[in-house]
Amino acid sequence: MKFYLSLIGSIGISLLLHVQQVSALQVIDEENLRYVSGQSGVDLDLNFKGTIGRSFFETDGNSLNIRNFSIDTDGANDDAINAGSDRPINFVMDLVTRGTKSGLSVAITNINDLDLKFDQFNVNGDVSSGAVVGQMHSFGGLALTNINDHGGVTDLNVFARGAYGEEGLQIELNLPEVVTLNLSYTDYGSDNASSADDFSFGGDVTLNNFSIANSVDLTTGKNSKGEEVGGLHIGVITQTGDITLSNIRAGNQAGTMGRLVINGYSMTPESYLTVQGK
């Protein structure tokens, strides 16, 4: 498995990393780092506002491309206007082992108004290194804004699947009791020069006691025209929790479509999702 990261252009920002404790990373056996005491690792605060022009994740010759990924760790405040007003996110990181698997364990706290915006996703359809010039075969654009953990702790474990002779990742995410965010998705139309034929969908999301464990890999594939577009394959190990989507908005309508509530959500290991661009 290979991971490549390219920064296109100049990112005119500074990373304010207030490192509270830095020592050698040490492999540990505990699943959740925040319950471990007396272990070495990295404890840091991150305040970041900037854009990554292009990045891509590759496995077995297939690549997931992301264009213009912007991050603001506190979208409600701006240090450039009021110095010291931004609230940094705290990360506690260490290496973790579980059986034959090794990976990275991260405990995340102090998520206040985090904004994550992706201008474009595609698989095996991005070979240029310049600005986005077209949306053909794109999965569209996604914005997750005003993400708030309401004082809870997010546990993230990322394992390499190489121990099984496979490529890809196994990602485990245990969210706090309550996480809220705003969701906005844009499906780009065929006219790359205009946004008139773009379609948008979104709403306000609340996740309660949400936990996921997925395998993530890239696949090859063709669309209805026989064109090679590739895809993203997400295999479910386990997913549980409650989901509420309120103030649902679609297209250019002035009002909302109401609210969707899903309680007792659970997926079994036989489930999977494969996404391909058109």
Within 8 A by CB and 6+ apart from 215, the residues are 161, 168, 169, 170, 171, 234, 235, 237
pTM here is: 0.69
Q: Which residues, 6 or more positions from 188, have their beta carbon under 8 angstroms from its beta carbon?
A: 120, 135, 138, 140, 141, 198
Which residue is listed with tokens 């997750």?
Answer: 144
Q: Number of folded domains in the chain?
A: 1
Average pLDDT over residues 13-35: 42
Which whole-number Å values give the CA distances from 186 to 117, 172, 192, 199, 206, in the listed order? Answer: 11, 27, 13, 6, 20
Residue type, 212: I
Query: Six-digit token pair at 229?
Result: 């577009």
Indicate the residue type of 22. V
State the amino acid at position 162 in one-letter form.
G
Calculate mean pLDDT across residues 23-47. 59
Count of C-beta atoms within a 10 Å radius of residue 105:
25
Question: What is the pLDDT, as a whole number, of residue 1?
Answer: 38
pLDDT, averaged across the chain: 76
pLDDT higher than 60, residue 214: yes
Domain residue limits at 30: 2-276
- Contact call for residues 193 and 240 (beta carbons, < 8 A): no
pLDDT range class, residue 170, cuts 50, 70, 90: confident
CB-hemisphere CA count at 13 Å for 128?
A: 7
Residue showing tokens 């949306």: 135
Give the span between the Cα atoms of 53 and 50, in whole angstroms. 10
> How does DSSP assign 148-170, residue by residue?
E-TT--EEEEEEEGGGGT--SEE
Least confident of 20-24, 29-33, 157-161: 20-24
Q: What angle do CA 236, 144, 86 make, to 5 degrees?
A: 125
**From 89-98, 103-112, 263-272, the region with the lowest mean pLDDT:** 263-272
